[in-house]
Amino acid sequence: MWTKELFGTEKPIIALLHLDPLPGDPDFCGSLDTVIEHASCDVKALQEGGVDGVLIANEFSFPMTYVSHAETLMAMACVIGAIKKDIHVPFGTNVVMNPEETIRMAKAVGASFGRSAFAGARVMVDRVKPLAVCGVCGESFSPFSLYASCPKCGSYKTRLVSGQEFRLASLIVETDKE
């Protein structure tokens, strides 16, 4: 699983680092150095707390819109660039409500992953027939429920070996922009 490869664990703890309001945001404090200082302190504290990864987001960029202002993006990249030396775990980006800019930001700052709201996305699912194995007699069978008994010996000591996983095979982002 990709999370184990990236974070070194199957179920990583990914902390969210909310940047202070950035230039152009109504509550911006007036000093990008202050925003950087706060972000640096936050990322150090999160890592000392034992997180496996950090997701850096502009959660306080109000109003939240599907179009991010250039000054917000530049300031966010500047802050991430300034604190990158303090980050010792995999990190990702989230340009709130803007999946395209999230991907661009991740690439620009060298992030390992990104997260965003992908509005208008369609999910197509290929169902995989579940397969279980009995721990008593070794019979393989297709269970009708998660807690099905073995059809051969009746034991409930069964283990689901496939049919519960989820894997994203591909992602195609279509935009109105040309």
Q: What is the pTM of this model?
A: 0.67
At residue 172, the pLDDT reads 63
DSSP 4-63: HHHHSSSS--EEEEEPPPPTTSTT--S-HHHHHHHHHHHHHHHHHTT-SEEEEE-TT-SS
d(CA 36, CA 48): 18
Query: How many Cβ atoms sit within 10 Å of the Cβ of residue 13?
Result: 13
pLDDT digit string (tens) for the chain, length 178 residues:
678 889 999 899 999 999 999 998 889 999 999 999 999 999 999 999 999 999 999 999 887 777 888 999 999 999 999 999 999 999 999 999 888 899 899 999 999 999 887 655 555 556 678 899 999 999 999 988 767 899 999 999 998 888 766 555 556 666 665 5
d(CA 20, CA 60): 6
| Residue pLDDT, tens place only, 56-82 | 999 998 877 778 889 999 999 999 999
| Residue pLDDT, tens place only, 132-150 | 999 999 999 998 876 789 9
